[in-house]
């Protein structure tokens, strides 16, 4: 049985002091590890401080980005190999902001996923369509293309170590959450796609999260839907009271 994953992507937010106090508050929560797993994804500069907290209290630490070489002359980059040495366990790949502002393409996602898997880190592979794509009715094809770019090159065992996050771009940071039905039908589609590429057993083991304007008012309903194994939260993860309510939505 898949438990729920609640991941907080802080993006480029929080000064050092604010980051410390938010993490301290989250660490005080009692998370029932049999039901929920919390992942905090702060800016890279805080990972050396927070990485050592990974696995404490049912909470893990994730990175927002990684570079697919281990070490070398790649100024400004941080590799999966270095992240591992900090205790980081998860890493986002292909977030729509990386795709839009930093030109991260499907092939880059594949390289990053491979490098992360090689180091034993769990990639959180983000996929999702822009509004124009949905309006044209091509959202399933779009997500399929993004997913297959990675899934066709990994083994079944590797796939069970990858988390997928469906994040419709039009819902990110806009306050426009996908309806539970819209999210649910895409999640079922993703699981069916995995089942077709691999098999139903593998498909049942893969976590598929929803992201895009998740907040304390909609998290519970989203997470109650079949095939939605948790949420990737941006804005609402920056406010302790909201994030806490999203986590408790799993328990209640």
Q: Can you read off the two tokens belonging to residue 62?
A: 């994730």
Q: How far is the CB of 124 from ligand PGA (least distance, A)?
A: 9
Directed axis angle between helix 180-197 and helix 139-151, to 10°?
40
The active-site residue, picked from 89, 97, 104, 167, is 167
Which residue, 228 or 232, has its beta carbon nearer to ligand PGA? 232
Considering the rule CB under 6 A, would residue 232 count as an interface residue with ligand PGA?
yes
User: Is 95 noted as a catalytic residue in this protein?
Assistant: yes
Considering the rule CB under 6 A, would residue 128 count as an interface residue with ligand PGA?
no
Size of the site for ligand PGA (CB under 6 A): 13
Rounded Cα distance, 213 and 235, in Å: 7
> What does the angle CA 145 – CA 148 – CA 152 come to, to the nearest 5 degrees?
155
What letters, b where the CB count within 10 A reaches 16 and e where it falls short, cover 188-197? ebbbebbeeb
Which residue, 198 or 212, has its beta carbon nearer to ligand PGA? 212
The active-site residue, picked from 37, 95, 139, 187, is 95
Considering the rule CB under 6 A, would residue 228 count as an interface residue with ligand PGA?
no
Contact segment (CB under 6 A) with ligand PGA among 137-145, 189-197, 208-216, 244-252 equals 208-216
Considering the rule CB under 6 A, would residue 213 count as an interface residue with ligand PGA?
yes
Directed axis angle between helix 106-118 and helix 139-151, to 10°?
40
**CA–CA distance from 7 to each of 38, 71, 131, 133, 179 (Å)?**
6, 28, 24, 26, 20
Considering the rule CB under 6 A, would residue 8 count as an interface residue with ligand PGA?
no
User: Is 118 noted as a catalytic residue in this protein?
Assistant: no
Contact segment (CB under 6 A) with ligand PGA among 12-20, 132-140, 187-195, 230-238 equals 230-238
> Which residues have a catalytic role annotated?
95, 167
């Amino acid at each position: 049985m898949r438990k729920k994953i609640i991941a907080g992507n802080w993006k480029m937010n929080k000064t050092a002091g604010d980051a410390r106090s938010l993490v301290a508050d989250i660490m005080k929560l009692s998370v029932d590890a049999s039901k929920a797993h919390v992942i905090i994804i702060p800016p890279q500069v805080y990972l050396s401080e927070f990485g050592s907290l990974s696995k404490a209290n049912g909470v893990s630490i994730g990175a927002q980005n990684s570079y697919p070489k281990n070490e070398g002359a790649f100024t400004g980059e941080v590799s999966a190999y270095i992240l591992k040495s900090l205790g980081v366990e998860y890493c986002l790949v292909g977030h729509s902001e990386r795709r839009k502002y930093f030109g991260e393409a499907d092939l880059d996602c594949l390289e990053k996923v491979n490098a992360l898997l090689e180091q034993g880190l769990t990639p959180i592979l983000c996929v999702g369509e822009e509004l124009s794509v949905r309006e044209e009715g091509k959202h399933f094809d779009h997500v399929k293309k993004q997913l297959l770019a990675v899934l066709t090159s990994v083994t079944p065992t590797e796939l069970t170590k990858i988390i997928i996050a469906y994040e419709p771009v039009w819902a990110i940071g806009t306050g426009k959450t996908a309806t539970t039905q819209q999210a649910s039908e895409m999640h079922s589609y993703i699981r069916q796609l995995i089942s077709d590429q691999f098999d139903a057993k593998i498909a049942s083991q893969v976590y598929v999260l929803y992201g895009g304007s998740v907040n304390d008012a909609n998290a519970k309903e989203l997470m109650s839907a079949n095939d939605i194994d948790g949420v990737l939260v941006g804005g609402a993860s920056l406010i302790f009271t909201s994030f806490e309510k999203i986590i408790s939505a799993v328990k209640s």
